[in-house]
Structure 1
Amino acid sequence: MSKRIEVNSLDIYYGKFKAVEDVSMVIEPRSVTAFIGPSGCGKSTFIRSLNRMHEAIRGAYVTGEVLVDGQNLYAPSTDPVDVRRQIGMVFQRPNPFPTMSIYDNVIAGYKLNARRMKKSVADEKVEKALQGANLWNEVKDRLSESGSSLSGGQQQRLCIARAIAVEPEVLLMDEPCSALDPISTLAIEDLIQELKEQYTIVIVTHNMQQAARVSDRTAFFNIAGTGKPGKLIEMDSTDVMFSTPKVQATNDYISGRFG
């Protein structure tokens, strides 16, 4: 199910402003890749470019390539809706649809795509997704209740269930634990380790300990100054990045000397 992502010479623009410059990297399937770096260096912009979510902002565009198993996501013939279907995203703050039940939140992706299915099939998909998000046992008797009735950590796992219900191949997570308490954060981190058996996972985090705990590879982004584009400084296995990075700026950031 998971996919290999190859990024070649990617520049990301918002109108005339270049937000991210010349990023090239490979993200391996069935792995967790963490993006770290100071605020404003383009991490979230870059991760949103991996499923063309940044295009929701007027005037945003890219140059370069994002290849998923060799398919260029930015080819003229590629439908952005199809891209977002195969590359799911979980955002910084839990965002269940407040007017929908837990059940309807999970199945929302199918309804938004006007995909009809038998009730028995929908029930099966909801249970499978909630089990995949380690939430089923907590909510199986509450499926008709509002998604917003859950705790913050449960809401975030509900959003993960919603993302994986449509069976994507890649799962992007933009600071998924920043609004959560330590116990809920641990639950999400444990879940990430389980999900990487099936998915390619990319996570943005400001928590160095979290990056060290959950990721196989880490990419450090930085920015030269206000108004300058963010750049990928280096990328390596997480063990190497946190012990013997090649660039002094990476070592300074990880050790807390700046950022």
Structure 2
Amino acid sequence: MSKRIDVTDLDVYYSDFLAVEGVNIEIEPRTVTALIGPSGCGKSTFLRTLNRMHEVIPGAHVKGSVELDGEDLYAPGIDPVLVRRQVGMVFQRANPFPTMSIRENVLAGVKLNGGRLARSDEDAIVEKSLRGANLWEEVKDRLDKPGMSLSGGQQQRLCIARTVAVAPDVILMDEPCSALDPISTLAVEDLIHELKTEYTIVIVTHNMQQASRVSDKTAFFNIAGAGKPGKLIEYADTTTIFTAPSVQATEDYVSGRFG
């Protein structure tokens, strides 16, 4: 688990509209990379290209390459479903399956991928995944209760457990704490620190303090104006981005002068 991501000359289109232009970035295994920038600058669009989730929108396509340990995810014959198994995603709002129990939520991805397991094997995956999401002790006595019965922060960690259960190489997170209270946010941030020992993690966040707390590297995206493509402006160690960025626009953004 945990693989390197190499993005080269990536342009992202929605039909004829160029949404993100010319991204070149190298993301190391077992690191947390934060994507920051003003609304509409292409952060989430770029994030979704890393597991081809943007393709759920008709007409979406890319030019350039996204490689996972040297394998181009957009090469002919590559199955997007398998890409999304390798590169899991946690969304902005917790989205447990409403008709499923906590246990069934954790196993949903495994079963969707055709996994037929003995009950004992399923139990092992459930416990390991919930422990991995730092949720086991809180829910181990009520696994048959609905996933929706959990608090917002617990639901988000349940979604992380569901992602971890299919053993991905990379975990993408699109503003995973934006709907959470400070205590739940801290729990998810602590979890991110633990998960990076096994996974490559890329997170979109509008919270500058969160980016500085959880990430090893930070990528600043910006946009020149309405109708223009988003661009990667600067990418460096998080400490550098927040204390000595090389581009004025980066300093203006992280210091709160705009955005």
Q: Normalising to structure 2: TM-score of the pair?
A: 0.99
Deviation of 1:249 (Å): 0.2
Distance 2:72 2:229 in 1: 23
Distance 2:238 2:145 in 1: 41
- Which residue is 1:51 aligned to? 51
Count of matched residue positions in the alignment of Structure 1 and Structure 2: 259
1:246 aligns with 2:246: yes
Distance 2:241 2:202 in 1: 16
The residue correspondences of 1:23-172 to structure 2 (distance < 5 A) are 23-172=23-172
Deviation of 1:115 (Å): 1.6
Distance 1:119 1:87 in 2: 26
Distance 2:87 2:256 in 1: 33
- Which residue is 2:203 aligned to? 203
Distance 2:2 2:110 in 1: 20
In structure 1, give the amino acid aligned to 2:195: L
In structure 2, give the amino acid aligned to 1:102: I
Distance 1:172 1:96 in 2: 17
- Which residue is 1:187 aligned to? 187
Distance 2:115 2:200 in 1: 25
Distance 1:138 1:258 in 2: 41
Q: Secondary structure at the match of 1:121?
A: helix
The residue correspondences of 1:215-230 to structure 2 (distance < 5 A) are 215-230=215-230
Distance 2:114 2:203 in 1: 29
Q: Secondary structure at the match of 2:172?
A: strand
Deviation of 1:96 (Å): 0.2
- Which residue is 1:15 aligned to? 15
Post-superposition CA distance 1:185-220 (Å, at most 9, x none): 000000000000000000000000000000000000
Q: Secondary structure at the match of 1:64?
A: strand
Post-superposition CA distance 1:21-77 (Å, at most 9, x none): 000000000000000000000000000000000001111000000000000000012
Distance 2:88 2:210 in 1: 21
Unaligned runs of at least 5 residues, structure 2: none
Deviating 4+ runs (over 6 angstroms): none
In structure 1, give the amino acid aligned to 2:114: A
Distance 1:115 1:57 in 2: 28
* Identity, % of aligned positions: 72
Q: Secondary structure at the match of 1:190?
A: helix
Distance 1:33 1:114 in 2: 31
Q: Secondary structure at the match of 2:190?
A: helix
In structure 2, give the amino acid aligned to 1:174: D
Deviation of 1:114 (Å): 2.3
Post-superposition CA distance 1:56-114 (Å, at most 9, x none): 11110000000000000000121111100010000000000000000000000111122
Post-superposition CA distance 1:151-180 (Å, at most 9, x none): 000000000000000000100000000000
Q: Secondary structure at the match of 1:62?
A: strand
